[in-house]
Structure formats: structure tokens, C-alpha cells
Amino acid sequence: MSELALLGGKPVLTEPLSPYRSMGQRERAAVIEVMESDCLSGFYGSPGPEFFGGPKVRELEQAWCKTFEVPFSVSVNSATSGLIAAMGAIGISPGDEVIVPPYTMSATAVAPLFYGGIPVFSDIEPDTFCLDPSAVQSALSPTTKAIIAVNLFGHPAQLHRLKKISEDAGIYLIEDNAQAPLASEHGRRCGTIGDIGIYSLNYHKHIHSGEGGMCVTGNEHLAQRLQLIRNHAENAVDWLDIADLNNLIGHNFRMTEVSAAIALTQLFDIEEHVRRREHIAKRLSSETTSLHGLSPPLVRNGCRHNFYCWVLRCEDTLGVERHIFSQALLAEGFPNTEGYVKPLYYLPVFQKRIALGRNGFPFTLTKRTYSKGMCPTAECMYEQEVLFFEPCAYDVDDETLDLLVKCIHKVHESRDDLAKLKS
């Protein structure tokens, strides 16, 4: 057994991994076509056909509907904008509660605040890192109006169970599907099971246009409200004969023609991009499943996992502190990050209960507080167990994949030496 690089030996990988570059000639040609058209954005913020965007935006929305087999797709300039628009579309109002996971990008939990909604954090499952339906059931209250489920790291949340909970309670299920574009549960595509699904097109996602997002729904009324909120709704409610004006003070969440053209090109290759990440992750999982004290990602029966991140859990039985194990992998050339994000209720906006305005709105409308210990599984994942690698970020061929596997095995075999170290 060779000496660990962390202890002075030679690393397995002597050069950093190359970044994955998905922009090619077809994307360049699509951008040039838009540039030569001289129409970089086709939106008007006033009544008329252009209220719904330019030709590339509308072409992308139609192609998205076809790919994901949904009646309505609405493009936006980011998934964050899509989450905010979704909160407005379903009618979130001051004091309404929205159940959210604590272990995700901050935008998921912050989106309800823009309409005065109160985020209620519900714990996650330790094997999929997605919302625990039992915890969600316990978090329901008379003022709950929606659940936001995140299909984290590319694996589906228990969407059908969550949908049943939402239907029984008469509330909405929103899917944050930023990391799982082709993931599925029991034959249904993630993003299409909830009332609204939101996809991300920003950098390092499976497909991207720099920035951008898509909202999908099977509900025409919600689709129309998403379109209005995207584009200065107040100017078009009379034109479209909208009676319900709740939350129809609009934003500028519009996608450019350049972004739409790139996203459209990437969409045609989405299966190729996603399968590439799946190939990397499945190989890593197959080579680590028997390693004592390490747990590769679970894939629930009937699910497709897209592996935006490949997540390795360091359990107590490993006998090595996670930080030391991580540093040893880094020294061998295996890029990894500890913990993912801290539980979102640790953020100052929740700890200090100050969001909009000077007086703490909307927290002035609730007695809920956000304290350490409220979601113990999420805290454990962040503080002790999770290491992750991003297949989306790197250009990994099979030869390099062999070396990544070698890194893990080398470090794991030397855990007795690592156990003597302290972080």
C-alpha cells in the first residue's frame, strides 16, 4: 500500500480535473443566429403578442412541453425567479406557511418571504437527503398553503407521497427540480408531479444557458399567472381579463433570446449530458458500496437518479473524522466538499427574524422560531457525514474515473493511519 499524499506520498492524480465544457459549435451557431437577427430580447411589458416573449423563448417553451410531456412551460431568467413566481402564482399571502427542506439552496426557503409567507422547516431523509414525508405530515398546520419539495442532488423526493399529503390537506405541492431534470419516480418525470415544477439552467447544471430557468404545470390558470408575474403583470391584467389580482404586481423575470437559443440547443442533447453524469456516479457507487464505514448514494426502487452530486456518507464506523478523510482525498487529487450547505435556518434572516422592511416582516405574523436541533438529520448530514463530488463540473473519461476510484480505495485502506490524525 503506497503512502498517502496527505502524509508525504505521491498523489494518485497529479493534475487537476479538467472542467466540463458543454458549449460547442451548435451553441455558437445558435447565438450567432440570434445576434444576426438583432433581437436579443423579444419581450414587451405591455399588451400584445410580444408580452409572451420572442421567437426563441416561445420555441424553447414548446420544446420543453414536448420533452417533459406537460401542457404548459413558462421560461424565466433563473430557477430562483421561478420559485418566487410559483409562490405568487399559487396565491401565497402574508402569514401563510410553506413547508420547506432545510438542506438545499437558500432560494427554496426564501421564496415564500417575497409574498409574506412563513417558511416552516421540515427534516430530511438520511438516505436521499430529500423531505421526509412523515416530518412534513407533522409540520402541517391550519395556515399551511404549500410544500416545496427539492429533488436534491438529482434524486426524487417521495413525490407521490407528498402529493397525496398535499391533496388531502388541500394545499399545493411545488417541486424544486433544479438538479434533477430527467429524474423520475415510478415512471413520472420529476418536476411534473407537483402543481408547479421549476428547472434550472444555470452554470454547472446538467444543461445550462449561463442563467435561466423553466416552470412547468398542468394547470392553465397557474401557467397564466406565472406568465403575468414574469413580465410586469399590472400592465396586462385588463388585456387578459384577469379577475383575481392577488400577487399580480409583476417582476422582470424574462429570459433573453440568447439564453433561450442556447437552452434550446442544450435541450436536444439533454439525455446525453445526463447519462454522462449518471455513468460517472454509478461507477463510483459500484466501487464503494462494499467499503466499510462509507455509504454511496441510495437509489430508491422505481426511481431514476440524475446525480447532480455524487454524495458519500462517512459513518461513525469509518473510524476517521470526515474532515481528515476529505483532506486525504483532496491530497490524492479527488475533488470533494464537506457537508453541502448548512441548514438554512442557521442563516441570519431566520435567526434574527428580519426579512422585509425595518420591522421584521413577515416574521411579525408568526410565533415560529428557528433553533438548532429542529432538523437533526439535516444537521448531522452537514456537520458529520456528507462528502460530495460534482459530476456536472468535471470532464471525466473512463481512465480518469479509474483514478478517482483508486483515490477512494487508497484513502480507505489507510484509515488506520488517518485515525491517528486530528482535524
Domain ranges of the chain: 25-269
Phi, then psi, of 52 in degrees rounded to 5: -95, 5
Instruction: List the strands of the sheet with 386-389, edge to edge.
Output: 294-295, 310-314, 386-389, 337-338
Low-confidence ranges of the chain (pLDDT < 70): 1, 423
pLDDT number for residue 1: 58
Whether omega before 376 lies within 30 degrees of 0, making that bond cis, reads no
Question: What fold is seen in the domain 25-269?
Answer: Aspartate Aminotransferase; domain 2 (3.40.640)
Q: What amino acid is encoded at 361 in this protein?
A: F
- Sequence-ordered strand ranges (E) for 116-187: 118-121, 144-150, 172-176, 184-185
Q: How far is the C-alpha of 137 from the C-alpha of 99, rounded, in Å?
A: 10
Q: How far is the C-alpha of 120 from the C-alpha of 117, rounded, in Å?
A: 9
**Residue located via cell numbers 470532464:** 395
Q: Which residues of 323-334 are buried (b: 16+ CB within 10 A; e: fewer)?
A: bbbbbbbbbbbb
The pTM for the full model equals 0.97
Across the strands, what pairs with 43? none
pLDDT digits (tens, 9 = 90+) for 115-161: 999 999 999 999 999 999 999 999 999 999 999 999 999 999 999 99
pLDDT digits (tens, 9 = 90+) for 262-279: 999 999 999 999 999 999
